[in-house]
Amino acid sequence: MSSVKNVLVCGGGLMGKNIAFVASSVKEHNITIYDVRPVDVEGGIRETMKQLVEAGVITEAELDERLSRIHFTEDMDSDGVKNADLVIEAVFEDMTLKQETFAKLEERCRPDCIFCTNSSVMSPSEISKNLKHRERFVGTHFWNPGHLIPLVEVVRTDATSDETADTVMKFMKDIGKEPCLCNKDVPGFIANRLQHALWREAISIVEHGIADAPTVDKAIKNSFGLRLPQLAPLENSDMVGTDLTYNIHNYVLKSIEDSHEPSPLLTKMKEEGKMGFKSGEGFYKWTPEQIKKCNEDLNAYLIKMLYK
């Protein structure tokens, strides 16, 4: 068990509320959410966790008890900030805002309080570059939906101490996550580099008329996508033989997409306002009902995979 008791979540939006809920899975944790605007923390968490209660993953009583340990403040000088053992920042994705937020936190929090940023893409080294105690800073990239996806990428900066990385890894395990340590602060950390290597090829296949979007998705869902949670690429490579992997790469890599720019197809879609769910059309057409169903089906699928 990590030594962390008082958790501060800075930013009570989509990710902040879910992170606070996950942190409350340990009974000894007291959680404060700080935001610059009023946030209905209880209402928001109750709404999101309805599906977990309905699926029997948690009871109403457990939800009530966990909510009783999650407090909200708009006051940067409150005890929840001063007494924090660990802060997870989840404010808007803006470098200056994040740097300013941590500068304010550093003035108020104890020097040994651990600082984490939930930024999806921004460099934790850059976010922490002006801090006095850079050794206590680390990236903690939760994935959305934060209460369901197990992975948290714990990203070391050039200055993160071993003690900080160890404590954060322990903390994440305590709250039921599957933390993965990323030893270098590189764009995309681990999982987004992998994910977007696949997306780049998927988009390229559509762009070059090799197959249309539904066919690409169908091919993935009915082949390696199905077995990925059981057999990941490096295990798979050993299973088939690294010599075979070598031969395949020797033959196929030269024809796989290796562009360092977003694809012309994606650029065209952006220019035409085809932004997916946001505009009702992307690679597919989406009605509001289909969008709602797609989101609900994803959560239901994740709950089934994780808890049933």
Please tell me whether 132 is known to bind a ligand: no
Q: Which residues pair with 127 in a beta bridge?
A: none
Please tell me whether 183 is known to bind a ligand: no
Of 28-36, 175-183, 248-256, 282-290, the window that binds ligand NAD (rule: CB under 6 A) is 28-36
Please tell me whether 225 is known to bind a ligand: no
Minimal distance in Å, beta carbon 292 to ligand NAD? 17
Q: Which of 25, 78, 83, 120 is catalytic?
A: 120
**Is 120 labeled as catalytic in the residue annotation?**
yes
How, if at all, do strands 151-155 and 30-34 pair?
unpaired
Is the CB of residue 102 less than 8 Å from the CB of residue 131? yes
Minimal distance in Å, beta carbon 122 to ligand NAD? 7
Residues 197, 298: Cα–Cα separation, whole Å: 22
Minimal distance in Å, beta carbon 294 to ligand NAD? 15
* φ and ψ of 154, to 5 deg: -95, 110
Q: Which residues pair with 72 in a beta bridge?
A: 33
Nearest of 128, 120, 116 to residue 86 by alpha carbon: 116
Q: Does 144 bind ligand NAD (CB under 6 A)?
A: yes
Please tell me whether 14 is known to bind a ligand: yes
Window 97-116: contact mask with ligand NAD (x via CB under 6 A): x---x---------------
Residue type, 64: D
Is the CB of residue 34 less than 8 Å from the CB of residue 91? no
**Is 255 labeled as catalytic in the residue annotation?**
no
Report the run of H or E that residue 295 belongs to, with start and end: helix 288-307
Q: Does 279 bind ligand NAD (CB under 6 A)?
A: no
Can you give the binding site for ligand NAD, defined by CB under 6 A? 10-16, 34-37, 39, 90-93, 97, 101, 118-120, 142-144
